[in-house]
Each structure stands twice: as C-alpha cells, then as structure tokens.
Structure 1
Amino acid sequence: MLFKRSLAARRALLLAGTASAVLVSALHVSPARAAEDEITPVRIPELIVNAPREDEGSSERVIVGDVSGPPARDAGELISRIPGVSAGRLGGHGSDISIRGMSEDRIAVISDGAYVFGGCPNRMDPPASSMMPMSGDSIAVRRGYQSVLDGPPAPAGTVSLERADSADFGEGLSGNVEAGVESNGFQRYSSMQARAVENGSYIRGFLTGRRANNYEDGDGREVRSAFEQYGGGGEVGLRYGSNSLLSLSAEENRAVDVYFAGAGMDAPWTATDTYRLAVEHNFAEPGVLKGFEASVYGSFVDHVMDNYSLRTPGMMTMRTDATSDTKGARFAGNFAFGTMDVTLGADYRRNDRDAVSYSSMMAAIPPTTISNYTWPGMEIEDAGVFLETKAPLSKMTGITAGIRTDFISVKAAKADLLPGGMGAVSARTLYGTFYGVTDTDREETNVSGLVRITHDFGGFSGWLGASRAVRTADATERGIARAPAMGGGGWVGNPGLDPEKHHQVDLGVETVRTAWKTSASIWYDNVQDFISRDIARGQSGVLVNDGVSSIFRNVDAELAGIDLAAEWAFAPSWHLGGNIAYVYGENTTDGRPLYQIPPLSGEVELVYDVSEWSAGTRLRWAARQSRVDDSAATGSGLDVRETPAYAVIDIFGTWQLAERVRVQGGVANILDATYASHLNKANGFDPAVVQVNEPGRSAYLQVSFDF
C-alpha cells in the first residue's frame, strides 16, 4: 500500500485528498505545460515560475530577475516559496530547504555547475543560503531523483543556480540594477549585474549586498535574526566553432555577523568561494558523436561560530572553526543513434570537512582549549560513471532511462587526535564506545537508476517514473564527534552506517487550456537503511544507553505525498490560482512518524494584471502538524512540538514606471499573524517563545532598472 495502514494515515490522506479536490473543483482547472515535464504551473506572486518544455524533468524554474515579493533573505528562503518546497530557520539568514520531506545532504545544491556543501555542523550556513541569486539568471528545482547526470544521487531533488546562454541577451551591453527595502527588520539590499556580448563571446560581472536588523514576530517580540551578506564575481566566455563555448567563472560570498535565535552560537564569519572552468564542444558536422562537455570546479567554505562575539557568554566561552572544501570534475559525451539521444560520461567529487571546537571554563576570549575535533578531517570521495538515454517510443510517447555507479571512499584523517582537557577522548574512541566500530575507512559501490515514461493523451498529458537512488552517509552522519560533557549528551556519528536506498515511484497528469490549467501528482518513496538521527537508548547497533546523546543509525522508512496546482483566468486581466502539497513520513522500524516532515499546506491567490500594472492578494496556509517526533524520552525529539496551523494574507503590486523601470511593493502578513513553520528550530534565546517565529507584518518596496 502507498501509506501505512493506520487510522492517522488514512485520515491524513483523506484530508489531503478532500482539500485538493475542493481546490481543483473550485477553480475548474488542470495541469500546465507539456507531457514530458512534471512542472507545477502556478504563477506565484513572489516569483515567476517559468519551466521550459524540453529536457527539464520534474522541475520549477525561478527567473531571478522577476522576483516581486518581499526581499528574500537568502536563496533558501526564495526557493521555499515554490510549491512543494519548505524551509526551516534558525534565524533570519540560513533557510534550510526541504523537498519531499527530506533536507540536508539529501538535496543536491549546485551553483553554476559546482557542488556546494555548508561549513557548519549545525547547519547555520546550508548551501542554498550561500548562493547569490543575482549571480545567475534562474534557479531550477528538480523534485525527486530525475536524472543520473546531476552527480551523486540526491533522493529529495536538486537545486541548481543556472546562467542563461549569452545569445539570449543579444550583442552589446546589457544588465540590471535593483534595490529594495523591507520595513520589518529594516532589510535593505542592492544588486547589479552587467554583461557585454560580441559575436557570442561575453564577459559578465555581478555585485550584491544585503543587510538586516532583527525582525519582530506578530506579537511584537524581537527575533534574533540580523545579518549582513555581500559578494560578487564574474565570468568570461569564449564562443568558437559550431556554437561551442569555453567559460571561466569565479565568485565570492561573505555572510557576516549572522544572529541566530535557534542556536547556542552566532556566526560572525562565513566565506564561500567558488571557481569553475568548463567547455561545451559541438561538432560542426556531427555523426554519432554530437559533442562533449567537460568541467572542473572548486567550492571552498570557511565558517566561524561562537557564543561571545555577538552575545554575552555564560560561564563558558565556545568557538568552532570549520571548513568544507569541495572539488570536482565532469566529462560527458553526447551521442545520437537515430532518434535516440545518449549521454555517457563520468564525474568525480571530493568533499573535505574539518571542524575544530574550542572552549574555556574561565570564559576566556577567545577560548584556546580544543574540546572536540567535531569533524575529524572527514574526506568523502565519489567517482561515478553514468549513462542516460532519451527516445520516442511513438509519436505521443517518450522514455528516459539512466543508470549510474558510484564508487565511494571515506576517511577520517583526524580520528586519532586527542582534544585538550581532562578525560579527552579521540573520535575513534567515541565511535568504539557508541557503536563498537573503530574502522573509519570505508569503501562502497552504489548503483542507482531511473526510468520515466511520458505520454500525450490528446486532452491532457501524463507521466510515470520509477527510480532507485543510493545515498552514502555524509560527514556529519558518519563522523561528527562531540563527546558528552558536564552531564550533557554527546553527538557522535556512526562510521558503520549503510548507504540509504531510496525506491521512488511517481505518477502525474496535467493539462492546459486557453483559460485554465491544472496539474496533479502523487509519489511514494520506500527507503531501506534510512539514516536517522536519534537518542542513544541501546538500540540495535548502539552500545550507549544514556537517553541524552545524539546518535545515527539505519532504519527503514516510507515517505509519500501529493502535489496539486491550478490556475483559472476567469475574466479579462483576472486570474485565480492555488496549490496544495502534502507529505507523509513514517519510521517503519520504530513505528513512529519521521521527524521534520512539513504539514499539509498551500496557497490561494487572486491577481488583476494589465499591461502597465498588476495587483493581487495571496493566502498562505498550513494545517496543524500533529504527526511529530517530539519526545526526547521515546523518540528523537527533533520536532519542537505539534506546530499549530496558520493562515497569512499578503497584498502585492507591480508598476511598470517606464520601459526599463519597474517598481514592486506590498505588505506581507498584513494581519500581523504570529506563526512558525513546522521546520523552524526551537527558540533557545527567548524562553517565552517555543519556536523561531516568522516575521510579522512587513511592508516592502523594490525598484529595478534594466539596461
């Protein structure tokens, strides 16, 4: 069965289905776009969703220059506005996205072809937050495992910052300057990008800066959320031959003095530098081999967090210095065998994460005693080979199929180093104490694949996909090493973890008509060896039973969900739209809900749009999340609570002031509601508030100039 046979599950599914049916019947609508793409067709006020028909799979595309709502505090917050994507927050900056009920390294984050991993063990800097949207032209979100070409499998999906072909902008100089301000927290930002194109070759540059104070929730409570972010970079591209391209890009991103209400530390400094060299070669007279592509890249993250730079420390000062360096390469050939297109290639990715924690009982600043090698020099290498084909089975039916094999090698270079202080133990000793495993070297061979069929039924289109995605344990799950201290619990990774095996199926239909469009999809993911964070209670394979330490172990799990969207142009210049998403997650080994699963949620919007201006209103809502894993006594305790339902109303508008000048503005949360996303962390800074709340009422204004 698709869902576990429990009364709670049946009720949840019934609720989701009923709500979805009500929305669709109310709007009289059906899917947008084409059979070959599972693309949610809703136009969102904050974003313009514009996914092309070809070669995109199940995706959304956010056109960066068309942002029209409250200034997103980072790319993660912007992406979370797409239907089916949620996010949790520790503060104002650092939104951690979730797709299909999964987050962290189950989502691949790619910035212009370069993989990025955060540098904070506590995820103050999730990789999506380090992307600068204005450094690219669009952000693509592919839900689920849709292609073997994206690198090592990410079962939840892929988020990719992409840059448009220079030919799309024409010859000469062009660009954009944008600035905005938001009242709640006094967020202000500006950005610029410019490009010069000649004979297809180009040079482009970009700069951006953003700063915000602490915002207030709907009850007027100040939420610790201030931050500053700035950065820039450039790219040079040489067009040659038969529309072939050689490009070199580099960018720097800095997040400074980032405050967190949901953490015991703040982040005074995070630096992310990314570099990439790539070639796309197309043969002038292609035969079986049409062309090839090759690239090398590096992304380097330097992160500092402490409890004294931006707040008054208690009896102990603490600091962690962490780095996350990723290097990679990719080569692929593009072949044509009649009507079949084939991509065959190989890729390589190595991620090195190192974190050293310091503390001082005497509240010395800065602390100098090494308390833990929190990431003890974790080295994870992945060499993969892949093949993906696309072919028509008939005039109305197409198929995509792919397979890849990943060869994994893992080491913990600092597993034997001893921290300072009395009773200090090495990471290797911790692993042995908690799991009876002391060998930190690991080799894996993981095989993943997919098949996807699309069909045009005439009046509507549909798709059916099945995939197997195998994900190896990441540096935290496998190797984090924080020893128990002062009666508190430790946080210890498990070198003996087996890789996750996700077996997903998804089914969907969509249709588009002159005045309306809808889409509906359902998916199911059976996971063997799901890597679950838990509390040490002497479970199978866990030797410690202290009831407080965080550990990792393999369990079996099920996830499933539905996504619906609709839009109806019911009168000239008017449209009504909406979307609903629901995710169900179950730890089937322990018989309890999976943690951090977003509740049933959605949006409904009404917009009036004419040539020079538009205005509208939107209702954002979420049901109460009662399926939680919030007990540290019997579960993981990773859910803060049964998060209450909420409904928030926004108003917004756009005015084309001149041919190249656009003004956007509005008021978010106009009724000043107090609410929190279920994925938000506990507010450890304000004992009067359970979770980190979302912002209360906030007016905003943005001005954009194209040249």
Structure 2
Amino acid sequence: MRSAITLEPVVVTAPMQTSPLRVVLDPKRPYQPVPASDGADFLKSIPGFDTIRKGGSNGDPVFRGMVGSRLNILVDGGQIGGGCPSRMDPPTAYIAPELFDKVTLIKGPETVTWGPGNSAGTVLFDRTFTRYEKPSWSFIGSLLGGTRGRFDQTADIRAGTPDFYMGVSANHTRADDYEDGSGHRVHSSYERWNTDVTLGWTPGKDTRVELTAGRGNGHAAYAFSGMDGVQFLRQSLALHFVQENLSETFTKLDVRAYYNSVDHVMDNYTLRRPDPDSAMPMAMASEPARQTRGGRVAGTFDWGDAVELVAGIDGSGNTHTSRSGGPEGSIMGYYRDMPRRRDATISTVGGFSQLTWYLNTHQRLIGGTRVDWAHVRGYALTGDGDSGSLSMGSGMGMGGSAPETTAASRSATLPSGFLRYEHDLADTHATLYAGIGHVERFPDYWEMFGGHVASTVTSFQSLRPERTTQLDVGVQYQTQRTQAWVSAYAGVVNDYILIHYLDGNGAASNVNARIMGGEAGVVRAIGSHWKGNATVAYAWGQNQTEHRPLPQLPPLDVKLGLVYDAGRWSAGALWRVDSAQHRIAIGEGNIVGDDLGPTGGFGVFSVNGSMRLSQEFTLSAGVDNLFDKTYAESVNAISKELQGYTGAIRINEPGRTFWAKLEVKL
C-alpha cells in the first residue's frame, strides 16, 4: 500500500513573520485573494500591506500607510522605476511574482545593505540559482482560470551541469473588466507577458557568474483615470558575480551590475473612446520612459562564530524622458514621431556596513551605518506662477501655450543607520527584539516632478529630504503546534513630504509627523487536522505641524482563517474585516491619492481548497468575496472620470470571484 502524503495547506491566507522584522514568502504558491497578477497584488497578502486600486491590475503597494520610495523595492538586487508622472506604472507593475523564487520583506529602517531611503521597509524579489552537483533539469508550471476571463500561464524551466546552468521563465496573464458586488462593471481589463532568461557559469563550487536578460509588455484599463496604460514595455539586463571562501575571514564577494528600462504609453482612445465632455475631449497620448543603471559591490567577513560584517558600495542613475501627441493623423501630431524631452536625471551613490555580533548563543546585536550622496537635475521646471494644471502625463497640459521652463540642480548627503538587540529566551521558544533606526530619504521623482505636484524652481529647491527615526520592538514565538509574533513601531518623521491637492493642482511641502502601529499574527494547530490563524495590522499617523491626521492611512485590518488538512487535500476559509476610518485629512495625500472622506468598515469572506492529484500535480481553487460584498478600500488613487460610475469617488473591489489553479512540478 502506498504511504500517505502529508500536505501542508497549499493556499496561503496568512503569511507569517519568520524572524525579527522579516517576512519570507514563496511566490510560486497560490495565495488568497486570487493569485496575484503583479507585484502589488502579491504583497497585499502580507499583514500591514494594502493596495491602492486603479483597475484590475497595477495598483500601488502601501505598507504601514507609506507609499512610493518610502518602500524600497528591488528586483534581483536592482532598482526599476516607473515612468508615469501620475503613477500609472509603479515599479510593481513590471514584476511577475511567480517568476521569482523568494520574496523578502524587511520592515522599517532596519537594514542598510539594500539601497537608500527605506523608511517603511525593503522588499526583495529574488531568483535563487545554485551549482548543480550533476546534470539535471526541472520544470515548474501552472495554469490559472477565473471569473471574468482571468487566464494565466506560467512556466519555469531550469537545467544545468556542474559547470553551466540556464533558466527560462515566462508568464502570460489576462482578465476582462470585473464587476463589483452590486453588479456594476469596472473599467479594469488587462493583459501582460514577461520572459526572462538566465545563463550561469560555475567553474567551481565557490564561483558563480550569472547573466540575466528579460523583456515584458502589456496593457491595462484604468477606472481611476481619463487614460489607460496601453504599453508597459520592460527590458532588463543584469550581471551577477559571486566568489565565496576567498580566505578564512573574507567569506564572500558579491558584485552586481544591472540595466532596467521601462517605456510606458498611456492614451484615451485605444481601450476607450475619448469623452467630448471631459478635460481631454480629443484623442491624446503620452509616452514617458525611464532608464536605470546601477550596481553593487558587497563583501562578507566572518570572524569565527562571533562577528559577521557585510560592507560595500552601491549606486544607481536614471534618466526620465517623455513625449506626447495623438494618434496617427492627429492635428497634434503622432506621438511616436515627436522628439523625446528629458525632464529629470537622478543619481545616488552610497557606502554601507552592517555588523552582526553574536554575544552568546542567545543574544545578538545587529547594527549598520550608511551614507548616500544624491544628485538631481530637473530640466523642465517652471516659475512659481506657471505650474500648469494637474494632468495624467508629462507634457499633457490641456490647452494654451506651454510655460517657459528652466533647469536646476540640487544634491544632498544622507546618513542612515540602525541598532537592534535580539534575545532568545531560554526554554520558552521566544525571541525578543528591540531596535532603533534612522533614515534620510531624498524626495523622489513624483514628489519633485510628478503629475500631482507643482514642478516649480522654488518647490524643487525648497523641498527637504525626509528624516525618519523609528523604534521597532517585538517578539517571535514558535513551538511544534504554535507560531506567533508581534511587531510594533513608533517613529518621528521630520520634514515628512505631504502632497496638498487644491483646485485640481497639487503641491508638495514638508511637515513634521508622528507615526506608530504594528502587526501581529498567530497560527495554532488544533488537533491533528485543524489549524487556525489570525493576523491584525494597524497604522496611525499625526501631522504635528497642521494638527491633523496624516492622510491615506489604512484602518485596522483583521484576518481570521481556518484550515482542515486531510493529508492529500485541504480546505480553508478566510474572513477579512476592516474597521471604519475616520482619521482623515481631506485635500491632502501622497503621490498616488488624497483623502476624500471617511469610510465605513467591511467584512469579506472567502473559501479555498486544494488537492494533491499526484506527486507532480496539485489543484487548488477558491471563491473570493463569497457573499458578493460591495466595498472599497480606504486608501485610493486620485479619482478622475471613473468609468462605469456616476458620481463615485472610490473604485470598488471585485465582487464574487471564482478561480482554480493547476500546478505541475517535474
């Protein structure tokens, strides 16, 4: 008789913090809500994350109420930046999570080794290749189908010998417009594809040279905007060199160089018809683009079992350009025939060192310092009285002659650092930790030149870097039947960059703020087949300068789950409850959206199941929003000409959604 297969529940509903301030996830597993179409969709499954919805895809990730460059997102150790001045294409829009092997979240300013400005946290999307001991190959693939035309295909093929290896990963995903719980259609269809090829050389067990090249594209209909994204062209190239065991002390040298290019097109005529009564009655298009080049050199040094040091330098530089016009034959001229206009160049160079000191078997002291030098030059700045109107793309002013522009530069030196103490309590299966970190973040592209701010010379020169000092405390607890954790924070943000939305225009300014909140979770085995889980997340912020709440903070979020695991099959349920949000600041927001008013609470119930058909095949399925609840998230994008709504101010979430996923591993 064949032995039974013990199956860990396949559908993940409650990702857990695995070590102090760190969450590690496997993006190839299905998650509920419906498995992700992009990076932001994937991250929203982590407690503390929300997504600002714009349509069916390409939402903006929010962690602890913070968006944009406060959340440092890296792909294989490299930066990728969006092109749209109004954040139609955040960096996560170019990330297909299932093409990666591991996603790591490091909360708060508690690392200095992965670039500058990580006041909210750092997210690493990584592929992991190792030397093959003998010639072999593997294949991981999946098919996903769902309500309203959702259809995904993913393939990851790898093969290698002790000297060489290669990997080819690809995905394609599409969906039609969805309906909310009331049956109203939301302008939200999308389609995208990505392909990445990796070639590696491993002449010895301690040496690895890896070259990766990738390309992707797609389109997405947007309910939040008068325009849609009709091109998301990504081109990537990266070289990675690793040498280990150089000496008894110098244990690793890691060198990376990368190039990421995005070419984004938005228009109001490919996926819709221009509205003659709107602010853009004619067929119009804009094509922003960004090219990013960067690199990193890091060395790891070990002194026995007592001290580990990671030190190095990193840097990046990017150039943003745009052009605009209309379709072929337009009186404005075909946008692809127009010359590109450079509006900004941004560069950073930093040095870092992070040390882990093992005081004894139960105590650790981890600390790091970092210094960055940032330089920015703007090429299309206007005078204080010529900021123009709020528009969906650079160069898309509506009518009138273009204001005269000028160029200006600025730079700054930005120190950062942290110190954290960790203590494993003997015989209690618990780890306590406390850390304090400080990070200085230079204003990003959207805060200086974006579509929601006044790109004037005065604003450009006067907007100060954001300085965050934050205390993080928590506890980890794990036994054979229970895993629990609490992660809490409190911070002071001097010169917090706030966006004021006034009469269709926006302006960025500095205020002083206080923040606090946290996340907690528990998973408990109940008997031999049942497992319960719960997570909670809350973020609070106060604008001390103006004596009002910080805007665009999500309310208290609670998730309760229950799983029955029978070995070959499992079934589970997830109940998500959000409280009402009355702490708002109408007319103020971030680079994505502003507070429109208070929101009510909601509860959403979802179910899932999975079955191991064989050693190679696994089938999972689920129903999200089982009771077809009509609801919208508290955080939102700036709403303009919502498609399918009359007088609506927020985009409702999808109604009842069925999905099924077949996975194969060979």
Contact kept in structure 2, 1:232 and 1:252, CA below 8 Å: yes
Give secondary structure in 2 for the equivalent of 1:334: strand
Note the C-alpha offset of 1:639: 1.5
1:560 aligns to what? 516
Partner Cα distance (2:10, 2:68) in 1:
25
Of 359, 366, 369, 1:393 maps to: 359
The change in CA–CA distance for 1:395 and 1:631 in structure 2 (over 3 A counts) is: same
- Does structure 1 residue 304 correspond to structure 2 residue 265? yes
Contact kept in structure 2, 1:410 and 1:441, CA below 8 Å: yes
Contact kept in structure 2, 1:404 and 1:448, CA below 8 Å: yes
The change in CA–CA distance for 1:395 and 1:318 in structure 2 (over 3 A counts) is: same
1:544 aligns to what? none
Show the 5 A alignment for 1:229-628.
229-256=192-219, 258-283=220-245, 286-313=247-274, 314=276, 315-338=281-304, 339-358=306-325, 364=331, 377-415=343-381, 422-428=400-406, 440-458=408-426, 459=428, 460-480=430-450, 494-535=460-501, 547-628=503-584
TM-score (structure 2 length as normaliser): 0.89
Partner Cα distance (1:401, 1:530) in 2:
25
Give secondary structure in 1 for the equivalent of 2:408: coil
Contact kept in structure 2, 1:134 and 1:206, CA below 8 Å: no
- Does structure 1 residue 77 correspond to structure 2 residue 41? yes
Contact kept in structure 1, 2:382 and 2:456, CA below 8 Å: no
Give secondary structure in 1 for the equivalent of 2:634: coil
2:655 aligns to what? 696
The change in CA–CA distance for 1:43 and 1:84 in structure 2 (over 3 A counts) is: farther
Partner Cα distance (1:704, 1:44) in 2:
11
Contact kept in structure 1, 2:522 and 2:533, CA below 8 Å: yes
Contact kept in structure 2, 1:59 and 1:140, CA below 8 Å: yes
Contact kept in structure 2, 1:506 and 1:522, CA below 8 Å: yes
Give secondary structure in 1 for the equivalent of 2:158: strand
Contact kept in structure 1, 2:86 and 2:451, CA below 8 Å: no
Partner Cα distance (2:549, 2:31) in 1:
37
The change in CA–CA distance for 1:352 and 1:583 in structure 2 (over 3 A counts) is: same
Give secondary structure in 2 for the equivalent of 1:695: coil
| Equivalent AA in structure 2 for residue 695 of structure 1 | P
Of 97, 113, 127, 1:133 maps to: 97
The change in CA–CA distance for 1:491 and 1:481 in structure 2 (over 3 A counts) is: farther
Identity %: 26
Contact kept in structure 1, 2:554 and 2:581, CA below 8 Å: yes
Give secondary structure in 1 for the equivalent of 2:118: coil
Give secondary structure in 2 for the equivalent of 1:129: helix
Contact kept in structure 2, 1:667 and 1:698, CA below 8 Å: yes
Note the C-alpha offset of 1:245: 1.0
Partner Cα distance (2:574, 2:492) in 1:
35
The change in CA–CA distance for 1:548 and 1:491 in structure 2 (over 3 A counts) is: farther
Tell me how large the CA RMSD over aligned residues is. 3.0
Query: What do the CA deviations read for 1:346-403 (whole angstroms, capped 9, x no partner)?
Result: 111112222334479x985766699999x85211110101111111122211011100
Partner Cα distance (1:273, 1:370) in 2:
22
Contact kept in structure 2, 1:318 and 1:358, CA below 8 Å: yes
Contact kept in structure 2, 1:68 and 1:664, CA below 8 Å: no
- Does structure 1 residue 706 correspond to structure 2 residue 630? no
- Does structure 1 residue 684 correspond to structure 2 residue 652? no
- Larger helix fraction of residues: 1
| Equivalent AA in structure 2 for residue 164 of structure 1 | T
Of 117, 126, 133, 1:153 maps to: 117
The change in CA–CA distance for 1:482 and 1:618 in structure 2 (over 3 A counts) is: closer
Partner Cα distance (1:306, 1:63) in 2:
36
2:4 aligns to what? none
1:10 aligns to what? none
Of 67, 70, 73, 2:30 maps to: 67
1:8 aligns to what? none
Note the C-alpha offset of 1:167: 5.0
- Does structure 1 residue 88 correspond to structure 2 residue 52? yes
The change in CA–CA distance for 1:282 and 1:255 in structure 2 (over 3 A counts) is: same
Partner Cα distance (2:10, 2:474) in 1:
21
Contact kept in structure 1, 2:192 and 2:216, CA below 8 Å: yes
Gaps of 5+ in 1: 1-41, 429-438, 537-546
What number of residue pairs does the alignment pair up?
632
| Equivalent AA in structure 1 for residue 403 of structure 2 | V
Query: What do the CA deviations read for 1:404-433 (whole angstroms, capped 9, x no partner)?
Result: 1101111123448997974421344xxxxx
More moved, 227-236 vs 198-207: 198-207
Contact kept in structure 2, 1:326 and 1:351, CA below 8 Å: yes
1:210 aligns to what? 173
| Equivalent AA in structure 1 for residue 288 of structure 2 | A
- Does structure 1 residue 179 correspond to structure 2 residue 143? yes
Note the C-alpha offset of 1:159: 1.4
Partner Cα distance (1:171, 1:104) in 2:
43
More moved, 142-151 vs 161-170: 161-170
Note the C-alpha offset of 1:51: 6.8
Contact kept in structure 1, 2:36 and 2:97, CA below 8 Å: no
Note the C-alpha offset of 1:170: 7.4
| Equivalent AA in structure 1 for residue 273 of structure 2 | T
Note the C-alpha offset of 1:272: 1.2
Give secondary structure in 1 for the equivalent of 2:174: strand
Contact kept in structure 2, 1:271 and 1:301, CA below 8 Å: yes
Of 592, 599, 602, 1:643 maps to: 599
| Equivalent AA in structure 2 for residue 442 of structure 1 | R
The change in CA–CA distance for 1:370 and 1:179 in structure 2 (over 3 A counts) is: closer
Partner Cα distance (2:215, 2:577) in 1:
36
The change in CA–CA distance for 1:260 and 1:621 in structure 2 (over 3 A counts) is: same
Note the C-alpha offset of 1:48: 7.7
Partner Cα distance (1:261, 1:405) in 2:
41
Contact kept in structure 2, 1:480 and 1:492, CA below 8 Å: no
| Equivalent AA in structure 1 for residue 437 of structure 2 | S
| Equivalent AA in structure 2 for residue 425 of structure 1 | P
Note the C-alpha offset of 1:513: 2.3
Partner Cα distance (1:625, 1:482) in 2:
24
Contact kept in structure 1, 2:552 and 2:593, CA below 8 Å: no
Query: What do the CA deviations read for 1:2-46 (whole angstroms, capped 9, x no partner)?
Result: xxxxxxxxxxxxxxxxxxxxxxxxxxxxxxxxxxxxxxxx98944
Note the C-alpha offset of 1:158: 1.3
Contact kept in structure 2, 1:568 and 1:577, CA below 8 Å: yes
Give secondary structure in 2 for the equivalent of 1:65: coil
Partner Cα distance (2:664, 2:9) in 1:
22
Partner Cα distance (2:52, 2:209) in 1:
38
Give secondary structure in 2 for the equivalent of 1:281: strand
| Equivalent AA in structure 2 for residue 678 of structure 1 | S
2:67 aligns to what? 103
More moved, 148-157 vs 68-77: 68-77
Contact kept in structure 2, 1:318 and 1:367, CA below 8 Å: no
Give secondary structure in 2 for the equivalent of 1:495: helix
Query: What do the CA deviations read for 1:250-299 (whole angstroms, capped 9, x no partner)?
Result: 1112122x100111110111111121101111135x23322311110011
Give secondary structure in 2 for the equivalent of 1:494: helix
Partner Cα distance (2:453, 2:499) in 1:
16
Give secondary structure in 2 for the equivalent of 1:102: coil
